[in-house]
């Protein structure tokens, strides 16, 4: 077999749904594993649905995910251009080739006459299909003479080229995920391949021609394209390209969290999670949330997506991109839809949060600290992150989790007061204070030992003594080990906080 070459071929019709990102990811993993090429082709032949900014959004999304394009829009390559609107000249030639070989024909039907046919069919209780039953009677080159066709084209009548779908033939197809599928052509209609009105091909023609010219070996795409597969098979046959025809793999849908139906933007809006990788600003001023802006690590997002539809056959859940490249296989992509879980998405981010490098977290935490009026250096921000990252899901959670490290308490938790500020505890805290005042080594390790020594040595109940002490320094019963807390805020601040609390709460 020749080189593995796959393509991601989105249409720039709006922000890329996470299902689209997953398609790109699976293509990328498949290509990388095989040492092949991952191509980005922009399918922008539907001028009606073109949305400015969507292409840039696609490129940025792939970049954020770490999906590197080998060839294509934004990168170039031997088959450039990779934007279909810039390949316009190519397609007419191929459409005409099909007319010539009798696999396609000109149709001159006006929009009005087609509407009439549709209305009449509806009245008769059957949907209208432009197919073998009716094409012989319509305004097509199948019926009109060559001269008439030529004359109509020359006088500027609008025309389309339609595929002449064979009548009652079984098309046998193979899909790498779904296996062998057979469809009878009588159920299919004569799809438009090319339109004179905008001098553009439709998706079907442009897609097949480009996959052929770009030497695509595998087409890995969403399940919504499965109904088009018989036509695509027949187009390869009609062109005489079956020898080099790519293999197909149709990926299962991403389902709503309930498991019922396709995951939509509305589900995200309703349940409060993004369905797009990056924030998107619609032209009507509407802003759609993105995973990036919501604070997800791209690695966590990619990891989560990889497991929506594919399983490694083991219990392993955390995969780096290179591990995914090694482990991925189309055989392990399921046939049935993959249910999206917003909780699981958060769970993945938490796993990456817990193992993230402290300095990297510190760097991300600095602007958040600044926004709260805290001017910390990188070492301090990193230290704070290291103390609390195991309890955070997002970098954004760090402020709430570590605020007491930067801001001394001015209030003390009522419940904690009721529970701990009684009996001998205030006196114990006062003793802890004096011990700390006499301690020079304020490293967390030393403080942990000294505190333990004092409390255990006096046979004070550990929970009572430690929590009442914690109440004075933190203001509540939360946070990491008190050795870490005092080590972080330093001796002066620790003593000052205890003194203030003893004054406020009574000794």
Interface with ligand GLU (CB under 6 A): 9-11, 43, 203, 207, 221, 225
Q: Give the up-direction half-sphere exposure of residue 204: CA atoms within 13 A in the CB hemisphere.
A: 22
Q: Least Å distance between CB 314 and ligand GLU?
A: 30
CB 293 within 8 A of CB 279: yes
Rounded Cα distance, 490 and 304, in Å:
40
Catalytic residue numbers? 265
Nearer to ligand GLU, 189 or 211 (CB): 211
Q: Least Å distance between CB 221 and ligand GLU?
A: 3
Contacts of 162 by beta carbon, 8 Å cutoff, 6+ apart: 104, 105, 107, 130, 135, 140, 190, 191, 192, 193
Q: Least Å distance between CB 247 and ligand GLU?
A: 13
Which single residue is written with the structure tokens 């019926």?
143
**DSSP for 29-73, written as a single string:** HHHHHTT-EEEE-B----GGG--TTHHHHHHHHHHHHT---SEET
Nearer to ligand GLU, 218 or 433 (CB): 218
Rounded Cα distance, 446 and 463, in Å:
20
Q: Least Å distance between CB 43 and ligand GLU?
A: 4
Nearer to ligand GLU, 56 or 400 (CB): 56
Nearer to ligand GLU, 39 or 308 (CB): 39
Which single residue is written with the structure tokens 């299909």?
129
Q: Least Å distance between CB 218 and ligand GLU?
A: 11
Rounded Cα distance, 389 and 386, in Å:
6
Nearer to ligand GLU, 14 or 257 (CB): 14
Nearer to ligand GLU, 190 or 211 (CB): 211
Q: Least Å distance between CB 203 and ligand GLU?
A: 6
What is the Rg, in whole angstroms, of the alpha carbon atoms belonging to the chain?
A: 33
Q: Least Å distance between CB 224 and ligand GLU?
A: 8
Residue 15's Cβ-count burial label (10 Å; 0-12, 13-18, 19+) is buried
Q: Least Å distance between CB 219 and ligand GLU?
A: 6
Nearer to ligand GLU, 9 or 138 (CB): 9
- Contacts made by residues 124-130, CB under 8 angstroms, sequence distance 24+: 129/189, 130/162, 130/189, 130/190
Rounded Cα distance, 442 and 461, in Å:
24
For residue 255, the cross-strand partners are: 262, 339
For residue 455, the cross-strand partners are: none
Residue 408's Cβ-count burial label (10 Å; 0-12, 13-18, 19+) is middle
CB 175 within 8 A of CB 248: yes
Nearer to ligand GLU, 8 or 291 (CB): 8
CB atoms within 10 A of CB 420: 24
């Amino acid at each position: 077999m020749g080189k593995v070459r796959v393509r991601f071929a989105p249409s720039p019709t709006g922000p890329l749904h996470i299902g689209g990102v997953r398609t790109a990811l699976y293509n990328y993993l498949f290509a990388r594993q095989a040492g092949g090429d991952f191509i980005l082709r922009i399918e922008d032949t539907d001028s009606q649905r073109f949305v400015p900014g969507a292409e840039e959004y696609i490129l940025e999304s792939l970049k954020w995910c770490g999906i590197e394009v080998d060839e294509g829009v934004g990168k170039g390559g031997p088959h450039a251009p990779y934007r279909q609107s810039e390949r316009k000249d190519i397609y007419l030639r191929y459409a005409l080739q099909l007319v010539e070989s009798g696999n396609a024909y000109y149709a001159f039907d006006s929009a009005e006459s087609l509407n009439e046919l549709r209305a009449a069919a509806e009245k008769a209780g059957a949907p209208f299909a432009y197919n073998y039953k009716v094409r012989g009677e319509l305004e097509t080159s199948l019926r009109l003479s060559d001269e008439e066709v030529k004359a109509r084209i020359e006088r500027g009548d609008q025309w389309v080229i339609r595929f002449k779908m064979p009548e009652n033939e079984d098309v046998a197809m193979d899909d790498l995920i779904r296996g062998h599928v057979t469809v009878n052509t009588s159920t299919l209609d004569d799809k438009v391949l090319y339109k004179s009105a905008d001098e553009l091909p439709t998706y079907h023609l442009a897609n097949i021609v480009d996959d052929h010219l770009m030497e695509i070996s595998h087409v890995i795409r969403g399940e919504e394209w499965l109904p088009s597969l018989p036509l695509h098979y027949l187009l390869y046959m009609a062109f005489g390209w079956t020898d080099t025809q790519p293999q197909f793999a149709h990926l299962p849908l991403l389902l709503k969290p309930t498991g019922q139906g396709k995951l939509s933007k509305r589900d995200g809006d309703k349940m409060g999670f993004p369905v797009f990788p990056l924030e998107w600003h619609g032209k009507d001023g509407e802003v759609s949330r993105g995973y990036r802006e919501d604070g997800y690590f791209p690695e966590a997002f990619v990891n989560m997506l990889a497991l929506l539809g594919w399983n490694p056959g083991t219990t392993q859940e955390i995969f780096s991109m290179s591990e995914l490249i090694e482990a991925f296989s189309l055989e392990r992509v399921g046939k049935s839809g993959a249910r999206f879980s917003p909780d699981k998405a958060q769970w993945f981010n938490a796993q990456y949060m817990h193992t993230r490098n402290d300095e990297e977290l510190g760097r991300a935490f600095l602007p958040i600290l600044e926004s709260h009026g805290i001017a910390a250096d990188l070492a301090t921000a990193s230290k704070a992150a290291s103390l609390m990252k195991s309890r955070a899901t997002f970098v954004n959670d760090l402020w709430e989790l570590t605020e007491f490290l930067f801001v001394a308490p001015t209030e003390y938790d009522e419940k904690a007061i009721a529970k701990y500020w009684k009996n001998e505890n205030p006196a114990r805290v006062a003793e802890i204070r004096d011990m700390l005042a006499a301690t020079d080594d304020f490293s967390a390790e030393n403080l942990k030992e000294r505190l333990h020594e004092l409390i255990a040595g006096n046979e004070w109940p550990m929970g009572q003594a430690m929590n009442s002490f914690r109440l004075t320094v933190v203001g509540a019963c939360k946070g990491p080990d008190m050795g870490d807390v005092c080590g972080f805020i330093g001796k002066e601040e620790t003593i000052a906080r205890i003194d203030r609390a003893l004054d406020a709460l009574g000794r």
